[in-house]
Structure 1
């Protein structure tokens, strides 16, 4: 064991001792001091952890433990819930290497020093970084450095929200007339994020729009979100924009319209996206599939009108909404019955999978087949899982499995790579599993993230279902199989 590993082992033993200790006999001042010291040490560990992450990145050490990308390492091995945010912290606070090899000083040295001292935490750090990201590129390095030093000092006494407020004052001081901000700054700060679905399957959309995008959006909303337009609760509501709508019908629909402006904006965006998907604006194909809403459901779900269906892009839809799509006879509901009329076995006659083969793979896997990979099916490639195409593999439906780009390229014979193998028994029989090329060989694992309904169906007894879910998601558990023997 190396000296560094020995020190971490000693630290874990010391943590066990601290965990077993009680503060019952101490006075209130000592109890408060213990809590303060605990948080300061926790923040110092964050700074040391950043250094460890940078070392892994510099040496591609994540590949030694079976992770294809650094982000995957942070998610699965370090269990960091916001890996991109943590990497942003590392890049700003740690000395990075230049293209020529020498080490550069940290972008935010004062913020890095305060985190290392434990006087600020990660939330303070990101509040500082958010302000620094808004400083115009035309501001000279001296003023930028002064802003970072000031913010770092503020962070030792202010809350993250107060740091943001102080940042507004600093930005106003650096660019009082707003003349330094240019197109580069606006381009750098543009963003649009779609949040995860909540318990009601709703998603939060957040965006920072550049001026032209805002102007275009305003034009769209002026027509598509007008009162009475695109109202899903009104069968007589005109669809699209109101240019061709009958004026009297539009007036009557507007009188019946009880939606708020925010709801009309939502419905306008929904109608616009529907027009883009059904109107052919997205072309004929995306990764071998039609660019439409493709849903995989079971006969029981359709018969009982209950449950949640998964789309090829990773969205969960209530079965009631799936039935509405089918009832409207629109092209954005793909059915799998037509696939049986298409060939699924091509041997060596072609390398790329056909749309029918991809639809079959979506129904079988739901997304990337690599265990614990969250990439939805629409963003995967078809991997020759039995034998690589270059080694004589066949483009047959039974010999392929979906894999995202990074994992598809991670298959090989090197120790840091992966092997795919068909599972021959148990609940995942017939699917391909993945194993890391270790000695002794790693366990063969299937991906359960895209087939939660199937997982719950196997375990109708609630305690068993909870156990199965915890096994499927907690990759830190050593296990030979994801499920107990049937």
Structure 2
């Protein structure tokens, strides 16, 4: 998508060159490859890969200039990462792309002098089309593992060596070669210190897959590992916290009857990995029920808040329930969890007796309003944002003022901190309204800044995948009836499915 300044100005050379590039791409698309020999066809693929790699260098230069001129604000974005996500659609890889720009880009210092790339040999290889973006990712990953106390010459040599190998080896092989380079730099581990351990620590919770399962990966520092070893030794002991055994002691192991625990251990055929998982579940339950999370988080109670449709609750079947953090939970599990402890089960179309309309009397939304917003919005309603309700604040769609409010649930919506702060009256700020009619009636509408190249309003459906899926099913059924020559009535079609 080309960016055009709002005012009528002559097309700059750069945009004219991109227009000619797209024309050339159109020409290549129309060109038949039948006239090429097999060797020439392979050469065409090689040249295509080289061109794609060179584009990373050009992209980097553009991103550097956007960053240094804060041009992303003209698209209504708070930083370059948000621009990559929301304007270029690079969700899920924005941080990786930003790291590539950081490694390859030439930035100006405080005196205005242009510095060279942080990884010069890598940048050179990318500009020549010899090194791909995936290679750059591996080089960054490896370079960040070099101990802070390593000699500057060693670091420079390591980068040059990695760039050398990247020209001939695939990324997987380059990662293995990088491990060998690290071993050569610090064979005895004497250079690694607390700063490196602090830099490398982390825990990542992956997205849910098609079976609603999630992968948890972590790099633990020595203290955390030592404490976890003790916890798992007790909570993951055989016989403890076994969800498949109703007689298994649960919760605090110190309170378990020794004889009951011994009998449960004899019946326990779980692997160590499964016992670790079940112990982790029990620990989370212990933290939730024991009040360890405090009384409030962004105005919401720090417990599980589960949203479910009335029909799904009645039939205990259908689309998964959703929690305030955005996790999908099978209906059976949701009902069981809500029955066990302090979870909040919110059923659509069933309303609490607590007053939800506070009018002009109060600036802050009540807890009941926040819980209601979880069910309606699911999370941040900002454009293309997937942050959960627990990561969001309450946003006044109609600006709140002490003399005219109001703080009503139908004039509030959920917005994460960055999106909440992006709304205002400036040329580079967003505005919000409420959709008055149609299938999105009652939902927040986000209007781009006046400086944005695309002024189309946005409604975020990221947290309502079930509704979108139902809509797509209805459209598919209508298309099927049309193909069969049937009128759009309430009769069942050949699929046996009910009409929308």
TM-score (ref. length: structure 2):
0.89
Asked if the contact 1:411/1:419 (under 8 Å) is kept, the reply is yes
| More off after superposition, 287-296 vs 389-398 | 389-398
Asked if the contact 1:435/1:443 (under 8 Å) is kept, the reply is yes
| 1:442 lines up with 2:442 in the alignment | no
CA distance in 1, matches of 2:473, 2:146: 55
Give the corresponding residue for 1:297.
308
Asked if the contact 2:361/2:405 (under 8 Å) is kept, the reply is no
Give the corresponding residue for 2:423.
411
Residue 90 (structure 1) aligned to one of 88, 91, 101: 101
Give 5+ residue unaligned stretches, structure 2: 1-10, 480-499
CA distance in 2, matches of 1:321, 1:101: 59
Aligned pairs (5 A) from 1:24-103 = 24-80=34-90, 81-103=92-114
Give the corresponding residue for 2:188.
177
For the structure 1 residues 69 and 374, does the alpha-carbon distance in structure 2 shift closer, same or farther, using more than 3 Å as the test?
A: farther
Aligned pairs (5 A) from 1:325-364 = 325-328=337-340, 330-335=341-346, 340-364=352-376
Asked if the contact 2:308/2:345 (under 8 Å) is kept, the reply is no
Give 5+ residue unaligned stretches, structure 1: 467-485
SS of the residue corresponding to residue 14 of structure 1 reads helix
| 1:131 lines up with 2:132 in the alignment | no
For the structure 1 residues 8 and 441, does the alpha-carbon distance in structure 2 shift closer, same or farther, using more than 3 Å as the test?
A: closer
1:83-133, Cα deviation, whole Å (9 max, x unpaired): 001101111111233345433322111111101111011111111111101
For the structure 1 residues 100 and 331, does the alpha-carbon distance in structure 2 shift closer, same or farther, using more than 3 Å as the test?
A: farther
SS of the residue corresponding to residue 461 of structure 1 reads helix
For the structure 1 residues 441 and 244, does the alpha-carbon distance in structure 2 shift closer, same or farther, using more than 3 Å as the test?
A: closer
For the structure 1 residues 15 and 458, does the alpha-carbon distance in structure 2 shift closer, same or farther, using more than 3 Å as the test?
A: closer
Output the aligned Cα RMSD.
2.2
Instruction: Give 1:339 shift.
Output: 6.3
Residue 445 (structure 2) aligned to one of 433, 441, 454: 433
Asked if the contact 1:69/1:406 (under 8 Å) is kept, the reply is no
Give the corresponding residue for 1:5.
15
Instruction: Give 1:391 shift.
Output: 8.3
CA distance in 1, matches of 2:217, 2:103: 24
| More off after superposition, 172-181 vs 287-296 | 172-181
Give the corresponding residue for 1:453.
466
Residue 215 (structure 2) aligned to one of 189, 200, 204: 204
Instruction: Give 1:189 shift.
Output: 0.6
CA distance in 2, matches of 1:408, 1:433: 13
Asked if the contact 2:100/2:136 (under 8 Å) is kept, the reply is yes
CA distance in 1, matches of 2:224, 2:216: 15
For the structure 1 residues 47 and 391, does the alpha-carbon distance in structure 2 shift closer, same or farther, using more than 3 Å as the test?
A: farther
CA distance in 1, matches of 2:111, 2:213: 48
Aligned pairs (5 A) from 1:362-373 = 362-373=374-385
Instruction: Give 1:142 shift.
Output: 1.3
- Relative CO higher for 1 or 2, CA cutoff 8 Å, sep ≥ 6? 2
Give the corresponding residue for 2:487.
none
Aligned pairs (5 A) from 1:160-171 = 160-171=171-182
| More off after superposition, 51-60 vs 15-24 | 51-60
CA distance in 1, matches of 2:350, 2:300: 14
Residue 377 (structure 1) aligned to one of 361, 364, 389: 389
CA distance in 2, matches of 1:319, 1:36: 51
Give the corresponding residue for 2:331.
319
Asked if the contact 2:400/2:407 (under 8 Å) is kept, the reply is no
For the structure 1 residues 106 and 377, does the alpha-carbon distance in structure 2 shift closer, same or farther, using more than 3 Å as the test?
A: same
Give the corresponding residue for 1:398.
410
CA distance in 1, matches of 2:150, 2:454: 55
Instruction: Give 1:191 shift.
Output: 1.1
SS of the residue corresponding to residue 382 of structure 1 reads strand
| More off after superposition, 209-218 vs 441-450 | 441-450
Give the corresponding residue for 1:287.
298
SS of the residue corresponding to residue 34 of structure 2 reads coil
Residue 191 (structure 1) aligned to one of 202, 207, 215: 202
| More off after superposition, 415-424 vs 344-353 | 344-353
Count of aligned pairs between the two proteins? 466
1:392-414, Cα deviation, whole Å (9 max, x unpaired): 43222222111111111111122
Asked if the contact 2:346/2:375 (under 8 Å) is kept, the reply is no
| 1:258 lines up with 2:261 in the alignment | no
Instruction: Give 1:346 shift.
Output: 3.0
For the structure 1 residues 465 and 132, does the alpha-carbon distance in structure 2 shift closer, same or farther, using more than 3 Å as the test?
A: farther
| 1:16 lines up with 2:29 in the alignment | no
